[in-house]
Structures are given as structure tokens and as C-alpha cells.
Amino acid sequence: MSEELDGKVAIVTGGSRGIGKAIALQLGREGAAVVVGARTEEATEDNPGSIGETAAAIEDAGGKALPVKVDVTVDSELEALADKTMSEFGQIDILVNNAGALGGAPQFLESEPDELDYFYRTNLRAPYVLAKIVGTKMAEQGHGVIFNISSGLARLPDPPGSPGAGNPRRFGGPSTVYGMTKAALNRFAAGVAAELQEKNIAIININPGFTLTERLARLMKGRDTSRMERPETTAKAIAFLARDPMPYTGQIITARELADEHSL
């Protein structure tokens, strides 16, 4: 174990698998006590991994971890997640808002407003609410850093028919509602960065790139995935930023670019 984050306490939502699990494991390896939040308590074929498995892996490596079942769309469960962390560890230094709705809704003209509501509640409202809950506690202790997981789909697609448009559905179509929520998440972080900075709290959004998670690995079996990012790249980027986050506050950071720049 490294001691880069020794004495720090982190909450990672969506920590049972994928990018969230990699982040939780990396923070644990660098000395942080990690609260692993997610809905999955028992692994299944469709949903490999669980909060208990991630916590156990951290502890097996010599770290400290606490698994907490949480549905991020339920405010009372977010409150309970923060309260359990404070009760167990007495502080919260790092929050990683990783849990999110993935993929895309149907085509716009075939969609229902409920689909937009689902993506909004999971990808935008939940990080907003948890950041406020945890940020209040960070303000009281005088420091902290909040990470939100963004996406390349947050950026605007080129207009149809323009030279740079390429595949007209790459950043549009079913990905639109997902991209809308991630774009709003970027605007949220940039908008509150100055206010939080006054409390010595940094807020940073991370774009992990197109990442090969367990689910995608099954879907893409037999296809070339060599150019896809790995969850560990984002995990190393977040651990690096957590050591000295304030110079990056209010920014949207691409994990691969940071990893290459600092040889992570």
C-alpha cells in the first residue's frame, strides 16, 4: 500500500463494478479509508461485483473499507450514506460521484419523458444532492474534494452534414439524454467551483473516455477493444488529483490526457 492518501476518507458511489470499483480500489491502495456505495449487495451474471466484494478487496490489501447499500435517486439514502461515513470515520475528504445511468434512451421521437426523468435523477440530481450534503460537512471541517464522472458525450455534436459531423448518431440519437445530463453536470461543477473554493473545497469533473467495463467486455466479446480505455486510468487520475486538487478545481479533466502528462 502507498501512503499518498493516508488518513483520508473517501465515498465512492457506484463502487460495486466498473470505473467505480477501480476508483475505490485505487484510493484504498493509496491509504484512504473507502466507503463503497451502490445498490448491488449480491453479484449476478448480469451485474458482476458487489459492494461487499469491493470492500473486501480493499481490506484484503491492508486498507479500510465500509460497504453501504444506497440508491442514489433516494435523498434519504444519500443522507444516510454521509451519516454512516461520519459515524464510522468522523470525516469525509473525498467524494466520487460515479454512479450513473448508462447507455441511451430510444430515439427522440420514440421516447417518453419518463426516460429523461430517469437519466436526470441518476446522472445530475443525485450528484448535485450528494455534493451538497457532503460539501456541507467538508465546509465544516475546512477542506475536501468532489469528483463527478462526466463523458465525452457531454460535448455538442456537429450539425448534420457539416464536415466534422462524421457518424450523425455518434453523439446524438439515443445518446442525447445521457449527454444532456453529463453536459449539465459539467455546468454544475464549473458554476459552483468559486463558491466551494472559498470553503477550501475543490470540485473536478473527470471524462474517462470510452471505457472497457465488465458489461462492455461481455457485449464486445471477440471484437478489438485495444483502443478502449481501462477503468484503472480514471482511477489513477482521481487518486493523483486527490493529493492536491485545488489547482484543478472547476475543470473538466480527460483521464487519459492527465495520465499521459504525469506518467500515471
**Can you name the residues that pair with 97 across neighbouring β-strands?**
148
Closest CA to 34 of 43, 23, 42: 23
Note whether 194 and 246 are within 8 A (CB).
no
Residue 178: active-site member: yes
What's the burial of 105, exposed, middle or buried (CB within 10 Å: 0-12/13-18/19+)?
Answer: buried
The residue annotated as part of the active site, out of 118, 120, 128, 178, is 178
Question: What is the DSSP-derived secondary structure letter of residue 109?
Answer: G
Residue 81: strand, helix, or coil: helix
Ramachandran angles phi, psi of 73, nearest 5°: -85, 0
The set of catalytic residues is 178
